[in-house]
Amino acid sequence: MNFVVIGGDAAGMSAASRAKRTDPNLDVIVLEQTQDVSYSACGMPYNIADAGRPIDDLVVRKAEVFRQKQGIDLRTGHRAEAIDPSRRTVSGTGPGGSFVIAYDRLLIATGARPAMPDLPGIDSDGVVALKKLEDGRHIKGLLRGRNVERVVILGMGYIALEMAEALRSRGIAVSLVKPRPGLLPWMAPELSAVVGQELAANGVVRHDGRRPERIEARGDRLRMVGDGLDLSADMVLAAIGVAPNSEMAAAAGLDLGPGRAIAVDRGMQSSVPGIYAAGDCADAFHVVTGQRVYIPLALRANRAGWAAADNACGGSTELEGIAGTAVFKVFRLEVARTGLTVDEAAAAGFDPVSVVVTTSSRAHAHPGAGKIHVHLVGDRGSGRLLGAQMVGTEGAAHRINAAAVALHAKMTVAGFAQTDLSYAPPFGPVWDPLLTAANQLVKKL
């Protein structure tokens, strides 16, 4: 049986490796259009912060390892361009010209691409995005080859804020630009304000509520002009989100879901039998609402690749879904979320109630303690916990996992308030910040 995989990063190589372990006699062919496979894309901002560290340090496993040790027919430099479900073939172009490959089972793991704003001058030299390893190489090359003193970042999401820190650590002036007002629209205002203060304290200038109109190129220098904007830069980074690479799937007749991601069932099968999709090109089910969502994150990509491989090999693996759990670092702060915001909960038909508490990250009077801010959302009708957000100098990144587990278990806020969480003075107060917030939310509910 031929198991063909389109895409050689997280979901694709996880699936290929899993399938080969499950059935060593299986013919596994991976088509990857670049020369890079199996790398830590999430580590790129931190690598870029270190001028002396090669970007290839982020490669988890080289192509030759997959070929020689696992027997996977990994074909780099091969771009898949069309799928024919009736003939069960994939066609495209590679180093030797055009190709057509037959499949018995197919996995689409084409990932996502940076969303680029429709601005005059967006294709200017020095305007960059960060998604693929090659993007990281390009950015490090620009920083190395140019006298980059000022960077304008379009966007204020995860990548934008991580890159703001990376660039500031290299002594580069950073300005953030976003058309809509507010720093992080999904975050409770009290917590978002804390992040804003941290950015300001580290010299990052915000221009939210300012709509860019064009980018002008003058030699190696760029200028962003717009409503109340006139910013000069040596580099512009577009970090306004991603879009799934689903066009080839749509052309083959596969159904699309939210955000035009490929719609899959809980076993990663698409609307066409025998074709699976996983990773940043595919949708998922939200464990709180049960509805389809597009929230591309690394753990889901790897887990979905495993599930797709299991099912392509005749298994019956199903994934419950995702809670949208995410964490990122902004200078000294850990910023984390899971589940629904108040607005998302209301849109899903819940009657949301929320609280914000600020407490200590360690026991009273223990040295080194910092503030930790917790936002919890619950449903007035059922008492169910719906979401959580945390910001703090320590303790937020891993504490958010407790809330994520509670969401998967569909716990009530009252039930979560009774959980037996750990305590020791160096790590938290007797009443963990999550328990303090849960107790306050129980009162409001």
- What is residue 228's predicted lDDT score, i.e. its pLDDT? 86
Q: From 190, 215, 238, give the residue that closes a domain.
A: 238
pLDDT digits (tens, 9 = 90+) for 81-97: 999 999 999 999 999 99
- What is residue 380's predicted lDDT score, i.e. its pLDDT? 98
In what helix (H) or strand (E) does residue 284 lie, and over which residues does it extend? strand 284-285
**Does 202 share its domain with 269?**
no
Q: From 312, 344, 371, give the residue that closes a domain.
A: 312
**Active-site pick, 1, 42, 116, 327:** 42
**Does 108 share its domain with 125?**
no
- What is residue 365's predicted lDDT score, i.e. its pLDDT? 83
Q: Judge whether 410 lies within some domain.
A: yes
> What is the mean predicted confidence (pLDDT) over 335-340?
98
- What is residue 435's predicted lDDT score, i.e. its pLDDT? 97
Q: Judge whether 208 lies within some domain.
A: yes
Please provide the average confidence, as pLDDT, over all residues in the chain.
Answer: 96
Compute the chain's Rg from CA coordinates.
23
Does residue 125 register a pLDDT over 90?
Answer: yes
pLDDT digits (tens, 9 = 90+) for 344-402: 999 999 999 999 999 999 998 899 999 999 999 999 999 999 999 999 999 999 999 99
**Is 313 labeled as catalytic in the residue annotation?**
no
Distance CA 385, CA 382 (A): 9
CA distances to 167, 218, 226 from 211, in Å: 23, 21, 6
Does residue 116 register a pLDDT over 90?
Answer: yes
Does residue 107 register a pLDDT over 90?
Answer: yes
What is the DSSP pairing of strand 127-129 with strand 235-238? parallel
**Does 135 share its domain with 227?**
yes
- What is residue 146's predicted lDDT score, i.e. its pLDDT? 85
Q: Judge whether 51 lies within some domain.
A: no
**Does 108 share its domain with 247?**
yes
Query: If 0-12 CB within 10 Å is exposed, 13-18 middle and 19+ buried, where does residue 286 land?
Result: buried
- What is residue 219's predicted lDDT score, i.e. its pLDDT? 81
Q: Judge whether 192 lies within some domain.
A: yes
- The pTM of this model reads 0.94
Domain that holds residue 180: 116-238
- What is residue 113's predicted lDDT score, i.e. its pLDDT? 96
